[in-house]
């Protein structure tokens, strides 16, 4: 995939952006061109009819093929919803027939023991697997209502081990609870198991299991833990990590961004991107490398692990105390303090962002949280600013007023970050003293709405017009995006912030095209989520390069513009966006 100097200049001209060091970026890009791109083989995609909540949700084979080609994914395992929701054997055969014209796609068959009377005997089933070149199968004991612990199932699972197929479990709950997962892996140690759709909140269950069971393999589709690739590499667990995207429901590009930017040796990246899966499938021949020749400058930079050549401002950054890897409850955040966070984002091309604490927001210790944010700003490189946090349930109005003035006396604080766990809706009068101060000083607010109808944002946007109100997680679903779009049409001071683990493919485009491309901002929610997949949502969107540039930085500059005069010079993002 060659990227000429002429194309480089054309891309920069298209966004009208002036940046120092363009020449050095081009030199690194040309150097990276000499390296063979990573080959990606997707361990789980899924097509077929299902209950959807919006007409734009993507479920078809054509949409899957388009996404794989757009994101330069060379091959994929494909499941069908009908294998779960209709007769499994019939639907398995139908899926293989559907995929037959596509040599880079391989079917995942949903199986259960022949004793139920719905599958042929194991010998015949084995012949069918070989005939249709099926090397990966799934089981759904919970959804399909059969007991994997039953004695009669032992022959079935031992047979699967003998077939040396990859067994995919689409959710741990199909086996029961995490103790049942442990039991299953122990009972069938020769059976290669791929467990997907793991929440980032399950790290304390999952990590010990990966360590203990060499037959367990996982991916980062919804397990978007901070510095995940680096952790598993350092723990010598690289061989148990697969690349899986759940496309076309989710973005394949967002998921490959995590691996492309992983700070691990190339050999380890190659294993995670596709090498481990090819080994498990018993495929000695690599599929044909697919490369999208029409990729823009952001995609090309990301695929080579280069800092983006356009600036990035992150509007949703949490911070732990220095040296911490955990944040209580079910949260584990490796290197979640300033040193780890700023080191990681510097590799991505960050030029700044809005910092808020975790202890003050989610742990509900507002007083401590504001100090955590202050310390993070002390350690931050240029371009970062802070958001204050105040909990009206723990302090009197007089105490709140004193705290507000004390925190914002530090001119690096220009944002407001309440949280739903405070237990009071944001338009409650107990918050008014804060919002009035913010409106007077033209601050902005980042709102994780407690109400699904977004009434809190609706009320506040009308009542406090000098505040730019950012709807956090506006891209979490098409329904959420639709509600946010309605508010964007209603109020010029409402913005959409995109971050979410399972953000659906096409949601960002929907916000831009139906809402306002000038009021969508990038946020990552780091270090709860790794920022790299979140950045990938924007990089691999189908939006024009100029619109991506707005989402990554220009729109954020508009949000903080009224506060730039207040910010110390070192806390102002050093980006130059030409209009």
Q: How do residues 515-570 score in pLDDT, each as one tens digit?
A: 999 999 999 999 999 999 999 999 999 999 999 999 999 999 999 999 999 999 99
Q: What average pLDDT does range 282-292 have in this prediction?
A: 89
Q: What average pLDDT does range 303-317 have in this prediction?
A: 97
Do the domains 313-574 and 38-299 match in fold?
Answer: yes
CB neighbours of 363 closer than 8 A, spacing ≥ 6? 327, 328, 369
- Tell me the CATH class for 38-299: alpha beta
Query: pLDDT tens for residues 92-115?
Result: 999 999 999 999 999 999 999 999
Write down the residue that tokens 């090498």 correspond to: 275
Q: What is the pLDDT of residue 10?
A: 57
Q: What is the pLDDT of residue 491?
A: 99
Query: Higher confidence at residue 473 or residue 4?
Result: 473
Q: What is the pLDDT of residue 575?
A: 80
- What tokens were used for 47? 């097509």
Torsion of CA 183, 187, 193, 194, to 10 degrees: 0
Q: What is the pLDDT of residue 51?
A: 87
CA–CA dist 242, 131 (Å, integer): 26
Q: How are beta strands 576-577 and 17-18 bridged, if at all?
A: antiparallel
Q: Write down the mean pLDDT value for the chain.
A: 94
Q: What average pLDDT does range 250-276 have in this prediction?
A: 98
Contact 315, 350 (CB under 8 A): no
Torsion of CA 36, 302, 325, 501, to 10 degrees: -120
Report whether pLDDT(258) > 70. yes
Contact 428, 397 (CB under 8 A): no
Q: What is the pLDDT of residue 30?
A: 46
Query: pLDDT tens for residues 110-122?
Result: 999 999 999 999 9
Q: What is the DSSP string of 323-339?
A: T--B-STT-B-TT-SHH
Torsion of CA 81, 87, 90, 93, to 10 degrees: 30
Report whether pLDDT(35) > 80. no
DSSP structural state of residue 356 = E
Q: Is 251 helix (H, G, I), strand (E, B) or coil?
A: coil
* Residue 44 φ/ψ, nearest 5 degrees: -160, 115
Full-model pTM: 0.94
Write down the residue that tokens 């779960």 correspond to: 84
Q: What is the DSSP string of 11-67?
A: HHHHHTEE-TTHHHHHHHHHHHHTSPPPP-EEEEEEES----SSTT---SHHHHHHH
pLDDT band of residue 3 (cuts 50, 70, 90) is: very low
Query: Higher confidence at residue 22 or residue 404?
Result: 404
pLDDT band of residue 20 (cuts 50, 70, 90) is: very low
Report whether pLDDT(75) > 60. yes
Q: What is the pLDDT of residue 287?
A: 87
Buried b (16+ CB within 10 A) or exposed e, 488-503: beebebbbbbbbbbeb
Which neighbouring-strand residues pair with 520?
Answer: 496
Percentage of the chain modeled with pLDDT above 70? 93
Among the ranges given (4-13, 52-61, 318-327, 512-521), the one the predictor scored with the smallest mean pLDDT? 4-13
pLDDT band of residue 14 (cuts 50, 70, 90) is: low
Strands laid side by side in the 136-139 sheet: 41-47, 75-80, 105-110, 136-139, 166-169, 192-195, 216-217
Q: What is the pLDDT of residue 54?
A: 87
Percentage of the chain modeled with pLDDT above 90? 89
Report whether pLDDT(6) > 60. no
Query: pLDDT tens for residues 148-203?
Result: 999 999 999 999 999 999 999 999 999 999 999 999 999 999 999 999 999 999 99
Q: What average pLDDT does range 504-513 have in this prediction?
A: 97
Q: Which of 10, 7, 17 is nearest to 557 (CA)?
A: 17
* Residue 126 φ/ψ, nearest 5 degrees: -60, -40
Query: Higher confidence at residue 285 or residue 423?
Result: 423
Q: What average pLDDT does range 262-285 have in this prediction?
A: 96
**Taken in order 386, 392, 394, 395, is the CA torsion positive or negative?**
positive
Q: Which fold has domain 313-574?
A: TIM Barrel (3.20.20)
Contact 459, 489 (CB under 8 A): no
Residue ranges of domains in the chain: 38-299, 313-574
CA–CA dist 107, 96 (Å, integer): 6
Report whether pLDDT(1) > 70. no
């Amino acid at each position: 995939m060659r990227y000429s100097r002429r194309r480089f200049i054309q891309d920069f001209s298209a966004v009208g952006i002036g940046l120092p060091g363009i020449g050095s970026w081009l030199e690194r890009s040309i150097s990276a061109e000499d390296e063979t791109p990573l080959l990606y083989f997707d361990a789980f995609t899924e097509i077929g009819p299902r209950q959807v909540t919006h007409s734009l949700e993507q479920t078809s084979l054509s949409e899957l093929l388009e996404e794989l080609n757009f994101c330069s994914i060379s091959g994929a395992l494909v499941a069908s919803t009908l294998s779960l929701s209709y007769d499994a054997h019939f639907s398995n055969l139908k899926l293989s027939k559907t995929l037959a014209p596509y040599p880079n796609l391989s079917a995942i068959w949903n199986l259960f023991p022949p004793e139920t009377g719905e599958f042929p005997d194991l010998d015949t089933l084995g012949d069918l697997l070989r005939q249709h070149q099926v090397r990966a199968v799934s089981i759904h004991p919970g959804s399909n209502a059969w007991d994997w612990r039953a004695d009669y199932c032992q022959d079935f699972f031992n047979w699967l081990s003998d077939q040396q197929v990859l067994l995919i479990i689409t959710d741990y709950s199909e086996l029961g609870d995490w103790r049942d997962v442990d039991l299953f892996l122990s009972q069938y140690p020769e059976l290669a198991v791929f467990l997907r759709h793991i929440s980032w909140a399950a790290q304390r269950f999952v990590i010990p299991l990966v360590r203990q069971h060499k037959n367990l393999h996982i991916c980062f589709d919804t397990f978007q833990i901070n510095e995940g690739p680096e952790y598993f590499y350092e723990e010598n667990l690289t061989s148990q990590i697969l690349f899986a995207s759940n496309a076309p429901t989710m973005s394949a590009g967002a998921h490959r961004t995590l691996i492309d930017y992983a700070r691990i040796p190339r050999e380890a990246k190659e294993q995670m991107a596709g090498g481990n899966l090819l080994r498990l499938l018993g495929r000695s021949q690599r599929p044909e490398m697919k490369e999208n020749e029409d990729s823009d400058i952001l995609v090309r930079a990301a695929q080579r692990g280069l800092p983006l050549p356009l600036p990035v401002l992150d509007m949703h950054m949490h911070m732990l105390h220095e040296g911490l890897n955990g944040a209580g409850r079910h949260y584990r955040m490796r290197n979640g303090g300033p040193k780890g966070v700023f080191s990681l984002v510097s590799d991505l091309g960050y030029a700044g962002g809005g910092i808020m604490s975790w202890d003050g927001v989610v742990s509900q210790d507002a007083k401590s949280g504001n100090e955590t944010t202050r310390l993070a700003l002390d350690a931050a490189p240029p371009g970062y600013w802070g958001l204050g946090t105040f909990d009206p349930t723990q302090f009197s109005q007089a105490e709140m007023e004193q705290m507000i003035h004390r925190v914002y006396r530090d001119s690096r604080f220009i944002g407001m970050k309440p949280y739903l766990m405070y237990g009071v809706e944001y338009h409650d009068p107990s918050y008014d003293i804060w919002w009035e101060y913010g409106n007077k000083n033209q601050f902005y607010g980042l709102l994780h709405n407690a109400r699904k109808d977004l009434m809190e944002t609706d009320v506040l946007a009308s009542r406090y017009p000098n505040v730019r109100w950012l709807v956090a997680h506006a891209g979490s679903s098409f329904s959420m995006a639709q509600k946010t779009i309605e508010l964007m049409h209603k109020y010029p001071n409402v913005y959409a912030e995109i971050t979410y683990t399972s953000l659906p493919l096409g949601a960002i485009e929907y916000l831009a095209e139906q809402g306002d491309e000038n009021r969508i901002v990038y946020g990552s929610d780091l270090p709860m989520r790794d920022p790299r997949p979140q950045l990938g949502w924007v990089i691999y969107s189908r939006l024009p390069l100029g619109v991506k540039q707005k989402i990554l930085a220009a729109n954020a500059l508009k949000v903080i513009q009224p506060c730039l005069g207040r910010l110390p010079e070192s806390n102002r993002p050093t980006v130059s966006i030409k209009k």
